[in-house]
């Protein structure tokens, strides 16, 4: 029944957007952290280009920031109810805790899957393989659930979480608002 009407929302399964939000991190350098994040993306005939950045802080002079970007392609199925997006991304992250600091550049191939229940709500998940290029960090496999709610014709709310398969499973939870053009 839900897949009978095509998804044509400017928010649900529409990727030309600007977003800002909040993220909570668990177990960063032995503590928790809170931060702000922003992203923008452009959908050019199902070819996606995105840029993102964020800054977070925690106890004990813990600070970290990162910038990244990526490219992906949207495969739209079932009248745009199902979107599958294989993507490739890169990021640079810098961590500071007291006098110690570290940075890492990573490549991040992955895939995003999303199902639009209607023109107001989509639910999905993602998987990303994270490979460090410039230090001896171990490779990581991250994944998590995502959801988008359309609150107006051009504005949505995104929520989600990130887990990793190694070590402590929960990494972060995030929420934010997106503006669609």
Asked whether 65 and 32 are in contact (CB, 8 A), the reply is: no
Report d(CA 43, CA 76) in Å as an integer: 13
The structure tokens listed for 56 are: 């977070």
Query: How far are the Cα atoms of 52, 70, 99, 163 from residue 89, in angstroms, in the given order?
Result: 10, 4, 30, 18
Q: What is the pTM of this model?
A: 0.92
**CATH-assigned architecture of domain 2-180:** Beta Barrel (2.40)
The structure tokens listed for 18 are: 């600007």
Q: What angle do CA 143, 149, 150 make, to 5 degrees?
A: 140
The model's pLDDT over 125-180, given as tens digits with 9 standing for 90+, comes to 999 999 999 877 788 999 999 999 999 999 999 999 999 988 668 999 999 999 99
Sequence-distant (≥ 6) Cβ neighbours of residue 44 within 8 angstroms:
none
What is the pLDDT confidence band of residue 46, given thresholds at 50, 70 and 90?
very high
């Amino acid at each position: 029944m839900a897949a009978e009407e095509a998804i044509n929302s400017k928010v649900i399964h529409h990727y030309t957007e600007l977003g800002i939000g909040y993220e909570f991190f668990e177990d960063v350098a032995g503590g928790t952290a809170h931060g702000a994040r922003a992203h923008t993306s452009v959908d050019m005939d199902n070819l996606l280009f995105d840029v993102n950045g964020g800054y977070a802080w925690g106890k004990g002079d813990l600070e970290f920031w990162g910038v990244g970007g990526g490219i992906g392609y949207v495969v739209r199925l079932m009248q745009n109810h199902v979107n599958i997006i294989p993507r490739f991304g890169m990021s640079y992250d810098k961590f500071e805790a007291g006098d110690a600091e570290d940075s890492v550049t990573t490549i991040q191939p992955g895939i995003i899957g999303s199902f639009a229940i209607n023109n107001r709500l989509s639910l999905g998940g993602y998987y990303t393989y994270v490979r460090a290029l410039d230090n001896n960090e171990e490779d990581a496999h991250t994944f998590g659930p995502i959801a988008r709610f359309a609150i107006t014709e051009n504005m949505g709310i995104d929520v989600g979480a990130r887990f990793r398969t190694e070590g402590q499973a929960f990494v972060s939870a995030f929420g934010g608002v997106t503006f669609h053009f």
